[in-house]
Amino acid sequence: MLQPNISPRTIETNRNNKNSRSQDKKIWPLFSNFSVPERNEKRSEIICPMQIQLARPRAIKGTLLGPREVNNSWRDGNPDINDQESFHRAISPILAVAQIFALLPVLNIRNPSPAKLCFKRISIRTFYTTAVIVMLFFMTYTAFIHMITTLRAETFVQDGGIATATGGIMFYGNSLMGTVLFFRLAPKWIALQREWRMMERFFNSCKYPQVRLRWKFMLITAMIMIPAALEHTLSVVKAIPDSSEFPYNNGTWREYVEIYTDRSHAFTYTTVKFSTALGIFYFIISKIATFTWNFTDLFVILVSTGLAERYKHLNQVVLTGGKSDCSNLDWRQLREQYAALSSLVKHADNVVSPIILLSFTNNLYFICLQLLNGLSPKGTSIIMTLYFFASFAFLIGRTVSVTLLTARINDQSKLALPAIYSCPASCFTNETQRLQLQLTSDEVVMTGLKFFSITRNFMLAVAGAILTYEVVLLQFNVAMAK
């Protein structure tokens, strides 16, 4: 076969063009396409320059580690041991507690490195989660049967109205959906954490101030879970019978369990008869469901805070450099970092958005339910009144916290624009212009399965929806009463 006559100069020109094109490659597909290869999987021969920099770092000064050894040490998790402020290290203790309640069955959750995380379909954690899902499904089924029976009954209002008819199925249905979504999240969470860690190592290589996440996560967790525990304690106290309800004050613990079940899980009587064993089961499963109900919001807040804090620290670099002289800023590096962070937000949104949708749907319903109970009170005891106000205030505070802290991502993604606008013409390079265009046109926001975007304006939409649905519920109660 005849070979074309190509001069060495032409070959060299083509090679230089290829190199220039590879260096101008966008940064944002990098992290979304990155995955840690399996043990028997061969690496691709074509790796972009940034992937070479991240996957195979240079040898560390004062050590005998070459690029291959450093890369292997990262896969073994050794460099991550000293990074106490990484997102994975900060959130892992909280996720370990969540696994007690059958959420996110990922193995090695407390390991310092995300490279050690793994998900196995056949393991004790997945078996435990599956068992809890079956139990929650049973509770949801009994609540569904009760809802159908109550809505069709002539004694609808006397039986408690729409609140009693739908409260059980919404509570346990939400917990069932939450447990299933966290179960499906497990393998995706591993990929997200590895990409997140790659982004952190990329940022740390630029010698920026380190993001402090551990104490913030602990503070946020305490501010959400302690009021949740108090609110749930009031709900339990509200359902516990008083000793005066028993003749001669000689009630047994079995009678206490029966009265507690009658007040808190009366909807189960439509399907199954009461027994002491079932009463104890209802007590335990309600605690698991309550934790899932509260942890859903906490999880969304922690993920959003981790992303927003990265934007905050990157904005500080731009704002601080813009005050003195914009010429000392590496605009290309900043653009790549903003692009990498935007890619991570989009990946996190794809993974977490079903849980966000569940969180806002659940909060919207229970705020309307508690407001409906307050407008039509049926109890006059101090415990009932205290429980209503505490529960309603907690729901409002939790919903506002989820909305505002998640909306911080969108706020922080635009915060560097004033510094770019005020940059002198002598320092306004092509990279500065590209960064400005990127920040103005790229919509960095968390969504509820793409149905809605969580910004500050979304808070007004939620308030309007609560008022609208409350009017509908009141009219529905009046119509059913007639």
d(CA 387, CA 24): 60
Q: What is the share, in percent, of the chain residues with pLDDT greater than 90?
A: 45
Distance between CA atoms of residues 172 and 267, nearest Å: 12
CB atoms within 10 A of CB 215: 10
Predicted confidence band at 242 (pLDDT cuts at 50, 70, 90)?
low
Report the range out of 45-59, 145-159, 194-208, 293-307 with the highest average pLDDT.
293-307
- Residue 57: its pLDDT value, please? 36
pLDDT band at 1, cuts 50/70/90? Answer: very low
| Backbone torsions φ then ψ of 453, nearest 5 degrees | -105, 140
Q: Specify the pLDDT at position 73.
A: 39
Q: Among the ranges 266-280, 287-301, 416-430, which has the highest mean pLDDT value?
A: 287-301
Non-local (6+) Cβ contacts of 230 within 8 A are 390
- For residue 215, is pLDDT > 80? yes
Q: What value, to the nearest 5°, has the Cα angle with vertex 422 and ends 419 and 426?
A: 115
Write down the pLDDT at residue 151.
74
pLDDT: is 66 or 231 the higher one? 231
What is the reported pLDDT for 262? 85
The residue with greater pLDDT, 332 or 299, is 299
138-180 tens-digit pLDDT: 999 999 998 888 776 555 555 556 777 788 899 999 999 999 9
The predicted structure's pLDDT at residue 327: 74
Question: For residue 245, what pLDDT is reported?
Answer: 61
Under the banding of pLDDT at 50, 70 and 90, the label for residue 306 is very high
Span 249-271, pLDDT tens digits = 556 778 888 888 888 888 888 88
> What was the pLDDT predicted at 264?
85
How far apart (Å, rounded) are the C-alpha atoms in residues 152 and 167? 16
Confidence of residue 479 (pLDDT cuts 50, 70, 90): low
pLDDT at position 33 over 60 = no
Residue 266 has a pLDDT of 85
Rounded CA gap, 93 and 91, in Å? 6
The pLDDT value recorded for residue 387 is 83
pLDDT band at 357 (very low <50, low <70, confident <90, very high): very high
Out of 69-78, 128-137, 243-252, the most confident range is 128-137
- pLDDT value at position 149? 84
pLDDT band at 79, cuts 50/70/90? low
Give the per-residue pLDDT at 293: 94
Average pLDDT over residues 3-25: 47
What is the C-alpha separation between 330 and 317, in angstroms, rounded?
10
Tokens of 400: 């506002």
Task: Using pLDDT thresholds of 50, 70 and 90, give the confidence band for residue 409.
Answer: very high
User: Token match 């990127």: residue?
Assistant: 438
Please say if the pLDDT value at position 429 is more than 90: no
Whole-number average pLDDT of the chain:
80
Q: Which residue has the higher pLDDT, 221 or 153?
A: 221
